[in-house]
Amino acid sequence: MTEGRGLISPGFVAINLQFALVTAIAALFFAFSGYLQLLGLSPASAGFILSADALAALVIQPLIAPVVHSANARRWLVVGSLLLSMALALLSQVTSVPLLVVARLFQGGGFICMLSALMALLVGCIPPAMSGRAFGWVSLVRLLPYALIPFLFDLRAIQAASFPAVLHAAAVVALLPPLLLLLPAARHAERGEKPSPPGLAGMAASLRSPAVVTLLLSTLLFFSGYATLFFYFKQFGLSRGIVNTSLFFSTATVVMIAVRLLGSWLFDRCHKVQLCAAGLVLASVCYALLPLCASSPGLALLAGFSGLGWGIAMPLQAAAMFDLSPPAHRAMNQNLLVVMMQGGFFLGPCIGGLLLDRFGYTVLFLTLAAATLVAGLLLLGIRWLPPNQGDATSGSAMSISHE
């Protein structure tokens, strides 16, 4: 059990190492579009291949979320690892659109099985009063590969033609997270009570909770906006004559890392829902101001404030879900939160592309701002517990209700 001990336990460290490995593989695919272009695929085909793994995750994760828990998480991690490794090896060999789609679907399935298993192991390592700090660290660990991998690609001058060799190496790395389960630290994380899976009845109970549904909807809106900005920002910058558009996400990432390194101790000392809502509102304001920005210094300023908003909101969404969930439902509800994130990455760019094609960037960014503002305002409809009072053992976390 987690009661009465600190956050940085051997099990918590081991699970974060596993998260780092899995996320590093996902971060490699920032260069995947260049490889698909090298293969001579049409933009439409490449776009579908790029989104196929998220589509697989959207289908699979709601199905497995009710049945993955700490007692069977090891098996799910092994299955996901083997599936992901196989998919990466296949991707390195095939060049036709149908086979690339199949490989990406397997990749998405393997990734989401591993992520669901790690979430189930993680929630058992978090002391109830430290959920903010815990998810601050986890989100930092999952963010660092996205900051480091592109830099390493540039440092090593890795070209699109070398991507199959990168995939070969990634296929080997995909087999490492289950091996970490053999460490004493990882076994320590699995000691204690082995709960039964919540099942469909548990999922139905969670989805009947107004607070859970509100947080899920808020997360879907936020990530729809974030993903749309991520995919279309470079085109926006070029349309305004701003060449170094990468400065925006580089600056935002540095700020996000700083927030999680220096500010995560505040996450458990403040009202999580109010602080999360503030982060979302700040991001919303930045989106609304983007159409007015016409210079690199202006972009850097907005990037810094966007990173501040994202750095606050992202870990607190997960911490909030942890606090409002009963212990038996925590892993499942965290995985439902990931479903909303995947849904945002699927829906946001699709709807954003339609808006961009018809109305242009100003309407697109104002729509993102409105969606993110609604995401923040929704959270204020949840009656929240005071800091450090989400007692996992007494059931007080279930005292949260909708206004």
pTM above 0.85, yes or no: no
Domain locations along the chain:
9-129+159-194, 198-403
Give the mean pLDDT of 164-172. Answer: 94
Measured distance between the N- and C-terminal CA atoms of the chain, rounded to whole angstroms: 32
Q: How does pLDDT run across 179-226, given as a tens digit for each residue?
A: 877 655 455 544 445 566 777 888 888 888 888 999 999 999 999 999
Q: Is the pLDDT reported for residue 132 higher than 50? A: yes
Q: In this structure, what token pair is assigned to residue 168?
A: 């070969």
Q: What is the DSSP string of 59-92?
A: HHHHHHTTT--TTTHHHHHHHHHHHHHHHHHHHT
297 Cβ contact list (under 8 Å, min separation 6): none
Give the mean pLDDT of 165-192. Answer: 76
Burial environment of residue 3 by CB neighbours within 10 A (0 to 12, 13 to 18, 19 or more): exposed
Class level of CATH domain 198-403: mainly alpha
Contact predicate 242/296, CB 8 Å: yes
Q: What is the DSSP string of 332-391?
A: HHHHHHHHHHHHHHHHHHHHHHHHHHHH-HHHHHHHHHHHHHHHHHHHTTEE-PPTT---
Contact predicate 147/260, CB 8 Å: no
The H or E element spanning position 382 is strand 382-383
The H or E element spanning position 33 is helix 32-38
pLDDT at 392: 37
